Structure 1
Amino acid sequence: MSAPVLFIHGLWLHARSWDTWIDLFTEEGYAASAPGWPGDPETVEAARANPDEIADHGIDDVVAHFAEVIAGLPEKPILVGHSFGGMIAQRLLGEDLAAAAIAIDAAQIKGVLPLPLSALKATLPVFKNPTNKHKAVSLTAEQFRFAFGNAIPPEESDSLFEQWAIPAPGKPLFEAAAANFNPHSPAKVATDNSGRGPLLLIMGGKDNTVPEAVTKSTLKQYRHSEAVTEIFEFQDRAHSLTIDHGWRDVADKCLAWLKDQGL
């Protein structure tokens, strides 16, 4: 039986942005899919036309959604998450709902303290208006270039924006920002779980949205767990690393790591 793999997107990207990954992992023998977040429509065009369907879904909503998907699978899946999808993957792994997880440029979990200026700028379109907590917020092509495409040619960034960018709920960002002040934060991960499956943290050295300081601090949160926790850096890559012309390098690293883990 093929091992199930669930791909979890982050903010501002549609689940279909994982299509090339799904094809590759399927070729490698996995049962791969990208179910999307609650409220996500089937297409990018529908997401842009109906932002209210996406709005007001928080971290717990997304975790519960994927937990329900996992409950319908024949075995625990491997999770591959990008950005906020990487945080969701860590939550699910910590709750023993996954066989393993790969968190790529993952949003900060509770306990992570660094807040680099570039990360603040990348998320300013949401935070500039407190009412955005309950809305879905879109990026402009220029904002997408800073948040995602700063390490690739502007033309490629604009093309990716046209192909994959959708409105994103503001609620997860507000929840993550308040995580270290909230003892019951939905961004809290069971980082001390020594019985969980292996975890790989991948970071892009030029990422403005999730700078490497965030990922390195995330790794430190797992210091009390005896489970496999590893980190890898693509030094010249930014937040677009799962969808730009170099996506295959990242995917191949993920496949090689899974093979090393016997998965």
Structure 2
Amino acid sequence: MAAPIMLIHGAWLTPSSWDRFRQFYERQGLAVSAPPWPGMDRPIDILRQRPARALARLGVKQLVDHYSALVAASPAPPVLIGHSFGGLIVQLLLERGLGAAGVAIAPVPPFGVAPHPRAAWTSLPVFIAWNGWNRVMTMSLRGFSTGFAQTLPPAERLYAHDKFIVPTPGRIFFQALLGIGNRLRWDNPARPPLLLIAGGRDRTVPAAMVESNYRRQLGAPSTTSYCKFAGRSHFLCNEAGWEQVAEAALAWALEHARGMP
């Protein structure tokens, strides 16, 4: 029997960003969950108008602890699939030996992978915001259109921004940069198999950054793989061709998941 699938969303997004993947996997008879970050289990309009106060204090370790408890409560070790900051969470869960396998899509890397200049540019509004460490930040339509989903047709960008983008804690960006809660052993013998997926035109986590992460992750003895989808932005789980990403992630996971026949 195939492992259950746990989908982990990233910053600026909610579990609704996984609806296409979830339905795609469920049609294949798989058990799929997409739990929200703490404080984000609310309708999108409420998250925008009245984000939970605790969201401003949410850090990387709290996120990993949150998902660690969910993985531990799963009836079987799940395949962990995460996007962006969710991809970082996947890597940190694998560091704890959790999950049958992990797929990190356009993932924020663990500490020790140098930031790409373009990644620094797209995240600059968070870093220069006054008191950004203690604030819930928002992403403008301009930021979404130029740094997150620039490959979307212009007519679709406003719709996608309104449908998917919500406030997110600024603190996690600072912690990722400073190595707070996101360090790992590159040669960890307990780490389950890992697939890293990059978008060829990603400006938030450029492919070169994912490739650098991949080279570091090769230090672990378990399977480590990498693939790149040309022409895709950071929004590759919801732009044209998302099915190819979903299928590649699933096929690799079912082949490499620990404990599967």
Band of TM-score, shorter chain: over 0.9
Question: How many residue pairs align between the two structures?
Answer: 257
Which residue in 1 is equivalent to 2:231? 236
**C-alpha contact (below 8 Å) 1:136/1:168 kept by paired residues:** yes
**C-alpha contact (below 8 Å) 2:96/2:190 kept by paired residues:** no
Q: Secondary structure at the match of 1:69?
A: helix
Which residue in 1 is equivalent to 2:85? 84
TM-score under structure 1 length normalisation = 0.93
TM-score under structure 2 length normalisation = 0.93
1:219 aligns with 2:224: no
Paired letter, 2:89: I
Q: Deviations over 1:78-132 (max 9, x none)?
A: 100000100000000111111100000001211101x233212211221112511
**C-alpha contact (below 8 Å) 1:89/1:103 kept by paired residues:** yes
Paired letter, 1:58: G
**C-alpha contact (below 8 Å) 1:56/1:169 kept by paired residues:** yes
Which residue in 2 is equivalent to 1:30? 30
CA distance 1:154–1:117, change in 2 (3 Å): farther
**Unpaired runs of 5+ in structure 1?**
180-184
Which residue in 1 is equivalent to 2:63? 62
Q: Percent identity?
A: 35
**C-alpha contact (below 8 Å) 1:91/1:190 kept by paired residues:** no
Paired letter, 1:252: E
**C-alpha contact (below 8 Å) 1:54/1:167 kept by paired residues:** no
**Cα distance in 2 for residues equivalent to 1:48 and 1:83:** 20
1:255 aligns with 2:256: no
Runs of 4+ in 1 over 6 A off after TM superposition: none
Q: Secondary structure at the match of 1:75?
A: coil
Which residue in 2 is equivalent to 1:210? 205
**Cα distance in 2 for residues equivalent to 1:243 and 1:193:** 32
**Cα distance in 1 for residues equivalent to 2:157 and 2:245:** 18
Post-superposition offset of 1:2: 5.4
**Cα distance in 2 for residues equivalent to 1:155 and 1:244:** 13
Q: CA RMSD in A?
A: 1.5
**Unpaired runs of 5+ in structure 2?**
none
Paired letter, 1:204: G
Which residue in 1 is equivalent to 2:101? 100
Which residue in 2 is equivalent to 1:110? 111
